[in-house]
């Protein structure tokens, strides 16, 4: 499990090093309702394109009052699976360009 107080970290996937950072906390939006947290992932040694992983709010958290919200916990295995999904979906961490957006669907 990723520590909830840590906002950055590193991963090794298939021998490649990646760095991640929490970009956005879960938040309430008047237009769209609950928005989950967003984690940015990039290759550790390259300054290329990043993947922005959008994690959904857990269903129970979305039903709570605004004052009781909390940061959902993302397990390391879930983050690794999301990065693998981004790679198989066409994300090239060594290429230049705009961030690659991935909507992650995880049942909490």
pLDDT confidence of residue 2: 54
Residue 108 lies in a domain: no
Cβ(34)–Cβ(62) under 8 Å?
yes
Domain count, the chain: 1
- Band (pLDDT 50/70/90 cuts) for residue 58 is low
The pair of structure tokens assigned to 13 is 């996937």
Output the pTM of the full model.
0.78
Residue 99 lies in a domain: yes
Residue 3 lies in a domain: no
pLDDT tens by residue, 76-96: 898 999 999 999 999 999 999
Residue 2 lies in a domain: no
Residue 67 pLDDT greater than 70, yes or no: no
Residue 1 lies in a domain: no
| Residue 56 domain boundaries | 8-103
Residue 18 lies in a domain: yes
């Amino acid at each position: 499990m990723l520590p909830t107080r840590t906002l950055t970290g590193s991963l090794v996937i298939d021998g490649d090093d990646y760095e991640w950072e929490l970009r956005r906390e879960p938040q309430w939006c008047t237009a769209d309702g609950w928005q989950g947290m967003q984690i940015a992932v990039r290759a550790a040694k390259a300054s290329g394109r990043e993947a922005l992983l959008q994690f959904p709010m857990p269903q129970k958290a979305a039903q709570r009052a605004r004052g009781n919200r909390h940061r959902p916990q993302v397990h390391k295995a879930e983050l690794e699976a999301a990065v693998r999904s981004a790679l198989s979906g066409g994300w090239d961490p060594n290429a230049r360009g705009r961030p690659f957006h991935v909507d992650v669907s995880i049942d909490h």
